[in-house]
Amino acid sequence: MITRCYLEITNICNLDCKFCPKTDRAKHRLTLDEFDRLTDRLQNQVRFLYFHLMGEPFLHPLLSDFIKMARQKGFVPVLTTNGTLLSKGQEVIDARPHKIQISLHSQEGNGKEHPEEYIREVMTFAQEAASKGVLIVLRLWNQGGYDTANDFIHELIAQYQPRPWTVRHDGWKLSENLYIEYDHMFEWPDADHSEFEEKDVFCYALRNQIGVLVDGSVVPCCLDHAGDITLGNLFEQSLDEILASPRAKALYDGFTRHIATEPLCRRCGYAVVTKQYRK
C-alpha cells in the first residue's frame, strides 16, 4: 500500500507566494463525481489522502463533502492550506480531517507586512480544531529564506497559546494536537534548472507516495507541479496499470539502484537529501 497520495482537488490559489512555482495547467476544481471516481480507484491502495499539490483546498466549495467521502472510503484525510480562508472553516472542522497543515510562511512569501490579523484567524481556527481532535501543524518552512519575521510570529502565537511550549525534534508542541514545525525553504524542481552534480540519489516516489493532478494525471510525487512525469491518467486506467507502465517501473527501479531516470528528478534537491537519510 502507498502511504500518501497527494490528490489535487483544485489547482487554483488565492495567493501569489514568491516561493511557489505556480502552474500553467488549465484551471479546474474536481466535481463531486470526479472526486468519487478518483477515490474509487485509489481505495484500498492509499492510506493518507492529502488534498493538495498545487492550489488552495479551502477555495473548493465541496471541501467538507470530500473529507467526509474520503473517511467513508477508509482514507485518512489531510489538508495543507495557506491559512487565509480559515474564517470559513467551521464545516471543515466538523467534517473531521485527520490533520490540517497551515503554511504560515505563505504570509511572508506574499510580502504582507501586518500578520496580526492573519495569526488571529489562524489561532482561532487552530485552537477550535485542536479541541475537536484535529491535529494542527503550523508550518514555518522558511529557514534560510523568508524567515526574518519568525520571532514576531512566535510572539503573536504566544498571545493566544501562552508559553511554555514543549520542545520537539522539528519544532514545538504548543498544546494537545497543536504544533509548530520548521523546515528549510526548498527550491521546487524545474525542468529548466541545471542538473545536480550528485548522481547517487534516492527517492520514495512510487514507493510511499504518488500525486494525482486535478485532470487525473498520475505523477510520482508531490513536487511534480507541472505534470512533467505523467505516468497515466486515473480517470482512464487503474492505479495498478499505471504503476506497471514501463516509465513508472523504470523510475522505481532506477531509484532502487540510486539512479534518477527522469530529467526532472535529476534537478530535484530532495532526491539528494533523501539518499543521505537512506544511508
Chain segment 135-182, per-residue pLDDT in tens? 999 999 887 766 667 888 999 999 999 999 999 998 999 999 999 999
Predicted pLDDT at 20:
86
pTM of the predicted model as reported, rounded to 2 decimal places: 0.93
What mean pLDDT comes out for the span 220-229? 96
Q: How many helices (H) and strands (E) does the chain have?
A: 9, 11
Q: Which positions ≥6 away from 135 have C-beta within 8 Å? A: 98, 99, 100, 177, 179
Angle at 140 between CA 139 and CA 143, to 5 degrees: 145
Predicted pLDDT at 196:
82
What mean pLDDT comes out for the span 16-28? 90
What is the percentage of the chain residues whose pLDDT exceeds 70?
A: 93
Predicted pLDDT at 279:
41
Q: Which positions ≥6 away from 217 have C-beta within 8 Å? A: 227, 230, 232, 233, 234
**Mean pLDDT estimate for the chain:** 92
Predicted pLDDT at 194:
85
Asked if the model's pLDDT at residue 277 lies above 50, the reply is no
